[in-house]
Each structure stands twice: as C-alpha cells, then as structure tokens.
C-alpha cells in the first residue's frame, strides 16, 4: 500500500512539472508574438518615415538615387559637366532631326575643292562629251551596283554646289546625312539617338556627333580590313 501511494505521488509531481513547463512555453510563445508584432510595427513606422523623407523635393532631398547623382554631378569639383569648353573652337552647326537636337561638323569648310562651281561653270548635262580634263579621275564608285547608282544619284547635276535626294530635292553639303538616310534608315535612326557613330570630344552635353561622311567615304563606304596598330611581331612574320 505504501508503494502505491509513493507511485501516485511521483505521478502527480510529473503531471505538475509538465503543466508548469507547458505554461512556461505558452508564456514564451506569447512574449515572442508580442515581440514580433512590436518589431514589425516599428519597422513599418521606420520605412514610412524614410519614404516620407525620400519623397521630399526641397532642401537637397531627392526622390530617387539617380536624381541625387544627377544633382551632385552637375558641378563636380566646381566645374560644370559640359562639352562647351572643348567645342568652342570647332566649326560646328546645330541640327534638329525629330526630337533630337545636336551639333555636327561643318562639312563644306572641310572640302578642299568646294565650291564645285569654281570648276563646274555649267550644268553637267551641258558639259557632257566636251574635251575637258577629268577632275575626278581618281574616284572609284564602290557604293552600289552601277545599274543602281552613279554620280548623279547623289550629286545635283543642275546645282553642282549641292547634293540631291532620290526625288530630286536639293540637299546642302553640310546635311549630306539626309542623302544617306534614304537607304540607310536603320542606321540613321540609331545615329539620331546617339547609338550609331562617334561623339565629338565628350558624352557630356551639348551633344556633338560625327556625320556619315566623317567616318565613311561616300564613294566607297565599306571599311577596308586592316591589322590592329599593335600586334604580335611573331604573328606578323608568320602571315607574310
């Protein structure tokens, strides 16, 4: 009988211990939930405050990181980021194509034999067949098939100081890209946006870009294959 009483007492003690541990675990879970709720609420308030601060547009506060970079870069080290100082001595003209306005080199000042009428005193049709020196004997037209293109395709035979479109409209030599764009429309669209062709001096505004004829020979526009300026001298000997 004494043994049974002892076993029952031990059993009750174990039950009490289990209930105590269960109560402690419940308390811990409650405390953890309250902690998570408190932290979540605190973080939400913090993010809300940060958002409110970042959305202000005054006192050098910016909506986006890129806005801050743009503003802070405007006068980097006391110098405005601009190409003006590099372009000042260059002979450039401003053009507008669609939504793009930028500068290109003046071409007529670079043509050594311009104006053409200094030699071509008559229209081309009038001087055909005359016994005259061929002033362009060294020009070989390698732009398209001869059945498709000849000199008169791009040059205005009635006004030798100008180019012309396929529909016969006169084009100033400075705007020769208008003639190129008739066939090379994809490259023209890329060039307008700045994706095709070389920039002059800098990417910083104002934008100045080379035109088609600054990089391509209009009579033979394909680039000739060539070796890099610097390459392995042993390979050079092997290629001979």
User: Are residues 95 and 173 located together in one domain of the fold?
Assistant: yes
Residues 58 and 168 in one domain: no
Task: Select the more confidently predicted residue: 193 or 238.
Answer: 193
Shared domain check, 92 and 61: no
Does the residue 231 lie in any domain? Answer: no
Structural domain includes residue 111: yes
pTM of the model: 0.59
Question: Considering the domain boundaries, does residue 127 fall inside one?
Answer: no
Per-residue pLDDT, averaged over 220-224, amounts to: 88
Number of residues assigned to the chain: 240
Query: Kind and range of the H or E element at 170?
Result: strand 170-171
**Does residue 131 belong to any structural domain of this protein?**
no
What value does the mean pLDDT take over residues 217-224? 89
Give residue-wise pLDDT tens across range 108-167: 988 888 888 888 877 777 766 655 556 677 788 888 887 888 888 999 988 889 999 999
Render pLDDT for 43-98 as a digit per residue (tens, 0 to 9): 788 777 776 655 544 445 677 787 887 777 776 666 667 888 888 889 999 999 99
**104 burial class (0-12, 13-18, 19+ CB within 10 angstroms)?**
buried
């Amino acid at each position: 009988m004494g043994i049974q009483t002892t076993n029952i007492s031990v059993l009750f003690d174990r039950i009490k211990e289990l209930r105590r541990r269960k109560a402690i675990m419940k308390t811990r879970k409650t405390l953890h939930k309250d902690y998570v709720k408190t932290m979540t609420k605190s973080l939400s308030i913090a993010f809300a405050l940060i958002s409110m601060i970042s959305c202000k547009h005054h006192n050098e506060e910016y909506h986006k990181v890129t806005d801050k970079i743009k503003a802070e870069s405007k006068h980097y080290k006391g110098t405005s980021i601009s190409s003006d100082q590099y372009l000042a001595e260059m002979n450039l003209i401003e053009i507008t194509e669609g939504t793009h306005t930028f500068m290109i080199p003046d071409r007529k000042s670079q043509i050594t034999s311009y104006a053409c009428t200094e030699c071509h005193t008559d229209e081309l049709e009038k001087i055909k067949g005359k016994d005259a020196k061929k002033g362009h004997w060294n020009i070989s037209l390698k732009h398209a098939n001869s059945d498709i293109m000849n000199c008169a395709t791009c040059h205005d035979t009635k006004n030798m100081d100008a180019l012309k479109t396929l529909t016969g409209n006169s084009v100033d030599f400075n705007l020769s890209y208008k003639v190129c764009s008739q066939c090379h429309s994809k490259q023209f669209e890329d060039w307008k946006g700045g994706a095709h062709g070389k920039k002059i001096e800098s990417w910083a505004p104002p934008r100045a870009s080379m035109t088609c004829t600054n990089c391509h020979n209009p009579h033979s526009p394909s680039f000739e294959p060539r070796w890099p300026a610097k390459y392995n001298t042993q390979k050079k000997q092997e290629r001979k």
